[in-house]
Amino acid sequence: MPVVDVHTHMYPPSYLSILRSRSSVPMVREFPPDPISRLIILPGEDETSTTARGRPIGPEYSDIDAKIAFMDFHGIDISIISLANPWVDFVSGVDAAELAGQVNDELNGLCGKYPGRLFAFGSLPLKATADLSVAEVQRLHKLKFMRGVIMGSGGMGQGLDDRKLDPIWKELEDTQQMVFIHPHYGLPKELYGPRAEEEYGHVLPLALGFPMETTIAVTRMILGGVFERFPRLKVLLAHSGGTLPFLAGRIESCIAHDAHLASLGKSGMGKVTNALEKNIWLDAVIYGELGIKAAVEVSGWDRVMFGKIPSVKSFVTRI
């Protein structure tokens, strides 16, 4: 059985060049005397900080040969590479469409250097118009190595239950391209308390904020009837779906017993478990066997996909 990594990010050289030219988040900057450049992407990060923040950007994030060497070292046969958050969400209008097209073409070209080993999820100009995003979905479908799109929980700015996304969902459904939903925008900083920023690093927003962001975003999709309108929509959720497998029963119970939903005749609306069994796949980026077991128990072993953590590979294969 080949090992396929569905959650692995790359930053094409042109994209990194744009981030290096910026002086606000998102950006790439240095923290002397540390010689390694760091990507600053999280909302609200202080771009004037003198303390190292963000993600170290080594060659494996931008050099395709280094990516292949990384795959070989970890026994990964195929990677579905994607641009990481914040994708092109920091650009609006026609500029967003131009940047998305440029980055997607570049990723497709990088995959072409190692055909059969690399494929990609493209980015959409979600801060432009729905029409421009639909056009990019149509164009991606024609590119040899593209297999879908990646997007954040914000959608076009109003979340994934926004009806303005319907034309995009429809095009993805019609072309049977997968949408990889990845967190970025997090939860309100106030939830982490006054000590978090200075003392706790990124632990709270990454370990807890990201999974809850995904859980809330997909629950809104379910409450908003997205999977009822687009029953063949294929969705891959980062980080084993956040806490969705663990909270599926609680969410369904709240739906079934909510008086307001009952008054609208929606108490029997689409269930979380139905979406997990029919529309949703999960990656295995949960950093522990207990979390993977929960994901497999709810979704099935064939819907939990390997995602770049070498220590997890043998466990997933055993299942």
Confidence grade of residue 267 (pLDDT, cut at 50, 70, 90):
confident
Tell me the CA distances in angstroms from 255 to 153, 183, 249, 259, one per residue in order. Answer: 21, 24, 10, 9
Indicate the domain borders of the chain: 4-11+82-318
- Which of 85-89, 212-216, 311-315 has the weakest average pLDDT? 311-315
pLDDT digits (tens, 9 = 90+) for 166-181: 999 999 999 999 999 9
User: What is the reported pLDDT for 125?
Assistant: 98
Confidence grade of residue 44 (pLDDT, cut at 50, 70, 90):
low
**CA angle 75–283–211, rounded 5-degree value:** 130
Consecutive H or E run containing 73: helix 64-74
Is pLDDT at 1 greater than 90 in this prediction?
Answer: no
* Claim: this prediction has a pTM higher than 0.85: yes
Q: What is the mean pLDDT of the chain?
A: 90
Question: What's the mean pLDDT in 181-206?
Answer: 90
More confident residue, 267 or 304: 304
User: What is the reported pLDDT for 226?
Assistant: 96
Is pLDDT at 314 greater than 80 in this prediction?
Answer: no
Reply yes or no on domain 4-11+82-318 having CATH 3.20.20.70.
Answer: no
